[in-house]
Structure 1
């Protein structure tokens, strides 16, 4: 099963709210399933974004205390909420990257061209807030889901460099926001490899 097929299988199984089918149809028209998760670091390869999104969903489900059979714990978000936050937190990266050719020396010391991912942001609306904006155009998010997706970058978000009372408030009021950030970090640093620097 490809990562695209796995993503779609989880999405269809877990996300049932109005508009979910339209959002998935939109995703399939973008490069979401072939895009990298980053330009040089985690998931910096074709399909890395879909793979990362699956990892975040799996990590979030584990952090929220769910069993592998998908039964909800006594407290905590629904599996649908975890699927929305995990699978869609980085939807802002759909149609976000482009490929350029660069030069490098190969093992024999000869110059060769190789493809390199670059950012080509056509909707410069931020990161987490851009994901919330895109999702909200198709289906409704709960406030908790919106907070979790908005703040999943934590202190790595350019908007909060140096600290943010809003980030602290979001994590204090909405535990799912902190758990989504932790799931994102676990997926990035424990499940995915950094592309070898050239």
Structure 2
């Protein structure tokens, strides 16, 4: 993984497609006031490494683009989504993960000897939830449509803390929410496993 390359691609996609009022202020926050490009995506699950958050966001973008390009999605599901909306909901769905991961050390036995190794801990100074916090943070800078807000809010799908019926209602009313959740799961459960497999084969 190349952190700088991912940063450059993220900024390029943002500047190319996101033209909404005050979007430049949102990008300035991401670049200059957050750790978005170096933060992990989690403490020990997917993307639990430096730069994991940006990399995961780009993977979700690629997966969502692919999902929405399918003929049946356009023709049967009638999902015709603008490039700006795709970029907003995919690149920013996990904005809530900025500035919440800290590094600490713990003892771990390696080759029979105890050593101190670094690990991530989660410390949220503004515990406002997950998807809803991303919506809150984005809307501090730019307006969102109802479909965009619901997609980001429910991108965790049925693995979130909401009831299944609530998630189902969101997906039924806003197919874009289902599309983003599908892309998020594909990036989390498939792309990262493929990446790990390739890295292990290179060793």
TM (norm. structure 2) is: 0.87
Distance in 1 between residues matched to 2:16 and 2:70, nearest whole Å = 16
Distance in 2 between residues matched to 1:30 and 1:66, nearest whole Å = 35
Q: Which runs of 5+ in 2 are unaligned?
A: 197-203
Distance in 2 between residues matched to 1:143 and 1:6, nearest whole Å = 27
Q: Which has the higher contact order (CA 8 A, sep 6+)?
A: 1
**CA root-mean-square deviation:** 1.7
Aligned residues: 186
CA-CA distance at 1:42 after TM superposition: 1.1
TM (norm. structure 1) is: 0.89
Alignment of 1:6 with 2:9, yes or no, is: yes
What does 1:65-80 align with in structure 2 at a 5 Å threshold?
65=69, 75-80=79-84
Conserved in 2, the CA contact under 8 Å of 1:127 and 1:157? no
1:54-108 CA deviation, whole Å, 9 max, x = no partner? 00011011111169xxxxx67511111011010000000000111110110112x
DSSP 3-state at the match of 2:37: coil
Aligned equivalent of 1:43: 47
DSSP 3-state at the match of 1:2: helix
Q: Which runs of 5+ in 1 are unaligned?
A: 68-72
1:101-159 CA deviation, whole Å, 9 max, x = no partner? 0110112x11111110111111100000000000000000000000000000012212x
What does 1:34-183 align with in structure 2 at a 5 Å threshold?
34-65=38-69, 75-107=79-111, 109-158=112-161, 160=162, 163-183=163-183
Structure with the higher helix share, 1 or 2: 2
